[in-house]
Structure 1
Amino acid sequence: MNQVLLKGGHVIDPAAGRDGIFDVLINGTTIAAVDRDLAPADAATQVVDCRGKLVLPGLIDTHGHIYQGVTGRFGLNADMCGVHSGVTTLVDQGGASCITLPGFRRYVVEPSKTRVLSYLSAYLVGGLEGHYYPELYRPECLDVEATVSAARSNPDLVRGLKAHAEIGGFERWGLEVMRLAAQIGREAALPVYIHFGQLWPKPESGGRGVDPDSIFNQVVDMLKPGDILAHPFSKHPGGFVELDGSVHPMVKEAIARGLKIDVGHGSHFSFRTARIVLDAGVLPDTLGADMHGYNTIVPPPPGTPSWHPDESTHIFKGNERFSLVSAMSSMLALGIPLAHVVAMVTSNAARLARMEDEIGSLRIGGVADVSVLDDLRGRWALHDNEGTQVITDRMLRPAFCYRNGERFDADAAILPTAKAA
């Protein structure tokens, strides 16, 4: 077997309690050893100098949109967002439905070098055009029995359910869609991942006049321990921060009930909101990039809509470059400790995927999923989608990764170029 020795890197492995300078030996498709000053097994061992770099368990992106070719402009290529961006595992959030899951397995999961998992859409149509057409997401467009059956029949792939709790849906249909999504989660015994924020504009007529600050507590009351609340740092109302700029009083109660929090970065991310949430003592558990075809530089497929609500509120107008690793840099700029940021995309993310015994750690004898990042010092300017600028002195950049022992350089076109302060 081919052996690779990653030499002298800063290894951070929260699940193993390891944080320091170590060598990592890869033997074929498995982790053979993690220790100080390992010697090459023989002359054929490839030695890779990792001094000055972070050597981490393979990164896990908890919020991907990668049903390419089926979800229209929304779906990106899995390996572009995955191994070619330094990420070894992607969790697709709501791209596939009970109807389209077989195609997702055949045309995305099986041919991808990246490990791909699914949080199955609660809606029959899945994530078509990023929910461009709201009428497809009304209560009549959910089938509890069919979705539960699809999840139970595909346990290797389906790790949870995806649903939405945003003002546009509550204005149209009230609680019914969320009630059905929560029922699917209970019957399938899977966590439900809840999108907070604005997917659709409010209806022009016939709306219910919903108070955005009333949504969070209504949703939380329907959920079970282990369910996930997404977009805590969203700039949109109806989530973690109330209209008066204070953290919703139900947030800490939700945490006490065992709910988890995922930073879906993407088009909703606000440094201002993040500061409010973090200063209130609320620390998210996991981090997803939430990249899709309306917030990256990827050219749209012919024939897809030329406008999207997400794009209309995104100051970069589809010309931004970002990745899971650049989202990690944003977390560091907010003052979240590096060890916790790494846990968000490794051990904690592995639990969200219900695979903590398989991925998320450099486990001896375990799969050789390893991400290597450049850990740069300098002075850079970071921007959010409200135009807020934050200056940071630390920037992470993906260098390469090993997925099941195979090396991939971080050469995706979507990777950002750091902007000097």
Structure 2
Amino acid sequence: MMSPTQAGPLLISGVKPVGFGKGVSQEATDVLIGADGAIATIGSALQGPDGTRRIDASGAFISPGWVDLHAHVWHGGTDISIKPHLCGIERGVTTIVDAGSAGEANFHGFREYIIEPARERIKAFLNIGSIGLVACNRVSELIDMRSIDIDRTIACVEANRDIIIGIKVRASGVIVGAWGITPVKIAKKVAKVLKLPLMVHVGEPPPVFDEVLEVLGPGDVVTHCFNGKAAANIMEDEDLFLLAERCARDGIRLDVGHGGASFSFKVAELAVQRGLLPFSISTDLHARSLDNPVWDMGTTMSKLLSVGMPFEAVIDASTRAPMEVVGLPTENLLSPGTRAEFTVFDVKDSDIRIVDSMGDSAHLSRLIEPRWTILGQEAVKASRYEPHRTSALESSACPHCGWISAR
């Protein structure tokens, strides 16, 4: 329920729009949001009616609400998921997409106990493995054919199409074992039947990255696209890089999916230098990546900025691009009559030391830091996550997935 202080019109002054698409001026402006949560007007020196609350955001940017296309928030239902508020509205993220924490056997609990009560909008890719990530890599969700129930998976999607936006499969040797590419092919067939995209986690073979890309089609998502794993990263094999370029041109979506073991500064920098940008930026936040090395969405965006991805492209890959995957409107987001859903953020000079999933460190000279999350006429104070200061180099996370102890 909205508090009395959140009722009535809201005026956000002095913000610079970014990420709203062509035709939207990036000059500083004021945004007046009516008591109904819809944008009333946009312009300079706005006053608003009596009782209007005012946020002075001079110098800050305003974008569509950030969308994290890959996180894990089935808290209590898996042993690695975090509570949505840790990576959601309080971090500038208005939409969280859970990437396969739940399978058909436990999605109902995820919906009832996490998705429906959450303040954030939560969508989901349904894991092709019936048990999802209940016990993570200790118990693979893809042990053998008994792990997949196609009929029940289809029924689960049909009963929850308002939430489920696609199918998820993890294509790593530690998950699929001798199955190789077979689970990916099954997941792709199910996704085609349901007319939904497939998201594939790529990691160490089998299967090899090349095999995965050959199965996918336009609209499908490859997450962990800039991982640095041997025999699995796009910069160690020229043929694979050229294949990834072709697939991206053909509409296969390359997603960052940072995570505990799936993002390399070196791979990302080389790819960006050669013009291969990610379609979407996501965190793969979970209990073992939250404090190291990911932290939050803003820090992940800042890492892509640091390797040479243009600022406007970073914002688009964190807003309108993943919104397209989720099925949210992407046009007229800053027009009168549209329900307000924004992230207000700063880009600050910084010298903060951060690490990637490989343990390589860097200093961020510019840091994207959320200030406010706007949902209708409600304004929620947002900030960066403050991690516990355990060195990522001392982490006991698994080198394959970042989720289980390697010692």
Coarse TM-score class (shorter-chain normalised): 0.7 to 0.9
Q: In the TM superposition, what are the counterparts of 1:377-396 in structure 2 within 5 Å? A: 377-396=349-368
Cα distance in 1, alignment partners of residues 232 and 336 from structure 2: 41
After TM superposition, the structure 1 stretch with the greater mean CA deviation from structure 2, 50-59 or 167-176, is 167-176
Cα distance in 1, alignment partners of residues 149 and 296 from structure 2: 34
Match of 1:254 in 2: 247
Match of 1:275 in 2: 269
The correspondence for 1:113, drawn from 119, 123, 126, is 119
Q: Equivalent residue of 2:51, what SS?
A: coil
Cα distance in 2, alignment partners of residues 145 and 179 from structure 1: 16
- Give the conservation status (yes or no) of the 8 Å contact 1:264–1:287: yes
Per-residue deviation, 1:348: 0.5
Distance 1:363 1:167, change over 3 A: farther
After TM superposition, the structure 1 stretch with the greater mean CA deviation from structure 2, 366-375 or 29-38, is 29-38
Match of 2:82 in 1: 76
Query: CA offsets per residue over residues 49-83 of structure 1, 9 Å max, x none?
Result: 111111111111111100000112x1100122101
Aligned partner of 1:121: which letter? N
The correspondence for 2:147, drawn from 138, 141, 155, is 141
Aligned partner of 2:49: which letter? D
Distance 1:275 1:411, change over 3 A: closer
Long gaps (5+) in structure 2: 1-6, 390-407
Per-residue deviation, 1:408: 1.8
- Give the conservation status (yes or no) of the 8 Å contact 1:247–1:277: no
Per-residue deviation, 1:384: 1.5
After TM superposition, the structure 1 stretch with the greater mean CA deviation from structure 2, 141-150 or 283-292, is 141-150
Cα distance in 1, alignment partners of residues 239 and 277 from structure 2: 16
Per-residue deviation, 1:114: 0.7
The correspondence for 1:36, drawn from 19, 25, 43, is 43
Per-residue deviation, 1:241: 1.9
Query: Normalised by the size of structure 2, how large is the TM-score?
Result: 0.86
Match of 1:337 in 2: 310
Per-residue deviation, 1:220: 2.0
Cα distance in 2, alignment partners of residues 137 and 414 from structure 1: 37
The percent identity for this pair of structures is 25
- Give the conservation status (yes or no) of the 8 Å contact 2:169–2:184: yes
1:66 is the counterpart of 2:59: no
Cα distance in 1, alignment partners of residues 388 and 45 from structure 2: 34
- Give the conservation status (yes or no) of the 8 Å contact 1:346–1:361: no
Per-residue deviation, 1:335: 1.2
Per-residue deviation, 1:129: 3.3
Cα distance in 2, alignment partners of residues 29 and 264 from structure 1: 35
- Give the conservation status (yes or no) of the 8 Å contact 2:99–2:125: yes
1:233 is the counterpart of 2:206: no
Distance 1:287 1:406, change over 3 A: same
Query: CA offsets per residue over residues 22-43 of structure 1, 9 Å max, x none?
Result: 2122223533245331412223
Q: Equivalent residue of 1:88, what SS?
A: strand
Aligned partner of 1:350: which letter? M
Distance 1:326 1:29, change over 3 A: farther
Per-residue deviation, 1:176: 1.5
Per-residue deviation, 1:411: 5.2
Cα distance in 1, alignment partners of residues 278 and 226 from structure 2: 10
Aligned partner of 1:293: which letter? A
- Give the conservation status (yes or no) of the 8 Å contact 1:24–1:31: no
Match of 1:346 in 2: 319
Distance 1:259 1:135, change over 3 A: closer
Query: CA offsets per residue over residues 366-387 of structure 1, 9 Å max, x none?
Result: 2221111122124333322323
Query: Normalised by the size of structure 1, how large is the TM-score?
Result: 0.84
Distance 1:245 1:67, change over 3 A: same
Q: Give the superposed CA RMSD.
A: 2.5
- Give the conservation status (yes or no) of the 8 Å contact 2:18–2:62: yes
Per-residue deviation, 1:84: 1.3
Match of 1:201 in 2: none
Long gaps (5+) in structure 1: 199-209, 298-315
Aligned partner of 1:63: which letter? H
Aligned partner of 1:70: which letter? G
Match of 2:30 in 1: 23
Aligned partner of 2:374: which letter? Y
